[in-house]
Amino acid sequence: MKHTTEIIALLLCIALLGACAPDAATDEKIDLIVEGKSIVTMDEHDTIIENGAVAVDDGVIIAIGTHAEIHEQYSAVETLGGDNRVVMPGLVNGHSHAAMTLLRGIADDLELMDWLINYIFPAEVEFVDAEFVRIGTELACWEMIRGGTTTFVDMYYYPDVIADVVDRCGMRAMISATIIDQRSPDAEGADDSLQKGSAYIKRWQGRNSRITPIFGPHANFSLTADQLRATREAATALGAPISIHVAESPFEIQNSIDTYGMTSIEFFESIGFFDGPTIAAHVVWPTEAEIAILAERNVGVIHNPTSNMKIASGIAPITDLLKAGVHVGLGTDGAASNNDLDMWEEMRLASFLQKVEQMDPKVLPAGTVLRMATIGGATAIGLGNDIGSLEVGKRADLIQVAFDDVHHVPTYNVVSHLVYVNDEQDVVSVIVDGKLLMREREMLTIDTKRITAEATAIAAKIQGALEKRNR
């Protein structure tokens, strides 16, 4: 008798457990399910799941599997259908000057130093204020979200304003306080910018998990060795990473040799500049020995092919950097030297540029470039454990790309299409930290009409001032 009671109790338990198990799809709903004809995970095995889905709850990826597996286990408050859709990690733009969208096309077809010293720096001193940065950054965030970028590493002025915009629009960003030894829009010189930058970093550390405040010393020709050392010391004291332009142009290399008797990266190494997390933008002209330094010191490199081509800075030795084990990501640089923020174009150009430079079509294949725009970039900027691939436990930064345009017909290989065919306009939905920023091409966190009007108004003012000056 006792035995029968036990069996009944056991059966009851099983029945109850069954009711509470996650496969009871009617019970507690998770936040979001994102479906896709292909789920391009960018995990270490380059796993692609056909007819799959990603389950998201509380900002985190909680499951990835086939459509059937995910729907058996979960039901969600919102589901994004996956017909003709590819789901992949959001793109990581490792180097930008977001607010420079407002200087898009202001001075084209010039040499880097001429462009910088005679056009960009004066225009910035004249026009850039907090309002300019707010509008320019918001315009940039709209463009980046529209194109599937979910994270960017920015370097510009008024970092508090940039952080406010990012806070509101829902993207993820590492935002630099620019340190430069000249009068800039938000500081009088290196000491002033370092002091203000430190205060900004203290204000934003721990405030929003999507925003990492960092230092952005401009370059080794726009700061002295002492100022660069002081910036690294401040960064170490605050536990903040650094983003900086490195070995971008022959000018920088020559200047470094003339001033310090060594090339740019050797100089940085000689002053202990790589003692903490460093994101090096450009790195067009490293020597073999310097590539070894970057690998050993775990310096993340951000390749900006469009900007490097447009300003004719040179061709960065990306295949050599990758071979040496350097983590390499991609960036757009500012819209004044690009002139857009299209990471799909960066992928394509990165690949083609290496192929033609080495006269070898096998170098930098599509899969490698796609890694650079996702997990490779995330690792290069120090966020590889949190974002960059679709894996359980990672933050839910992902995008849905429509594969229903005429240029997707036919599709034999999804990765090939993502790199060699896709445009920004193919991105339909964008999710950061589990929140939808764009749904079926509708911007949800930025008022497109307002920002267009504000950007147009400020551009008219700049245009008027430029015409007056040129008269």
Query: 278: which 2 tokens?
Result: 């460093």
Query: 279: which 2 tokens?
Result: 């994101």
Contact between 91 and 148 (Cβ < 8 Å): yes
Residue nearest to Zn ion according to CB distances in the complex: 333
Of the candidates 419, 425, 426, 421, the one whose C-alpha atom is nearest the C-alpha of residue 351 is: 419
Q: Which helix (H) or strand (E) holds 401?
A: strand 398-402
Minimal distance in Å, beta carbon 335 to Zn ion?
A: 11
Of the candidates 266, 271, 353, 270, the one whose C-alpha atom is nearest the C-alpha of residue 318 is: 353
Of residues 87 and 102, the one with the C-beta less far from Zn ion: 102
Q: Which helix (H) or strand (E) holds 341?
A: none
Of residues 52 and 94, the one with the C-beta less far from Zn ion: 94
Of the candidates 119, 102, 115, 96, the one whose C-alpha atom is nearest the C-alpha of residue 346 is: 96
Of residues 97 and 394, the one with the C-beta less far from Zn ion: 97
Contact between 244 and 279 (Cβ < 8 Å): yes
User: Rounded to an integer, what distance in angstroms lies between the CA atom of residue 201 and that of residue 97?
Assistant: 18
- Cβ-in-10-Å burial (0-12, 13-18, 19+) of 110 comes to middle
Of residues 164 and 248, the one with the C-beta less far from Zn ion: 248
Minimal distance in Å, beta carbon 223 to Zn ion?
A: 15
Minimal distance in Å, beta carbon 62 to Zn ion?
A: 37
Residues 6+ apart with CB under 8 A from 330: 92, 93, 94, 302, 303, 304, 305, 343, 346, 347, 350, 369, 372, 373, 377
Of residues 62 and 219, the one with the C-beta less far from Zn ion: 219
User: Rounded to an integer, what distance in angstroms lies between the CA atom of residue 78 and that of residue 457?
Assistant: 38
Minimal distance in Å, beta carbon 157 to Zn ion?
A: 13
Residues 6+ apart with CB under 8 A from 384: 327, 375, 378
User: In 337-425, which ranges are continuous DSSP H helix?
Assistant: 343-358, 366-373, 375-380, 414-420
Cα 461 off chain centre by:
30
Of residues 333 and 345, the one with the C-beta less far from Zn ion: 333
Of residues 306 and 400, the one with the C-beta less far from Zn ion: 306
Minimal distance in Å, beta carbon 245 to Zn ion?
A: 5
Contact between 215 and 235 (Cβ < 8 Å): yes
Which position has the token pair 């983003």?
A: 243
Minimal distance in Å, beta carbon 79 to Zn ion?
A: 40
Minimal distance in Å, beta carbon 139 to Zn ion?
A: 18
Of residues 304 and 389, the one with the C-beta less far from Zn ion: 304
Of residues 124 and 333, the one with the C-beta less far from Zn ion: 333
Minimal distance in Å, beta carbon 189 to Zn ion?
A: 20
Q: Which residues bind Zn ion (CB under 5 A)?
A: 333
Minimal distance in Å, beta carbon 218 to Zn ion?
A: 9
Minimal distance in Å, beta carbon 452 to Zn ion?
A: 25
Of residues 98 and 194, the one with the C-beta less far from Zn ion: 98
Of residues 41 and 339, the one with the C-beta less far from Zn ion: 339
* Residue 377 CB-half CA count within 13 A: 33
Minimal distance in Å, beta carbon 286 to Zn ion?
A: 17
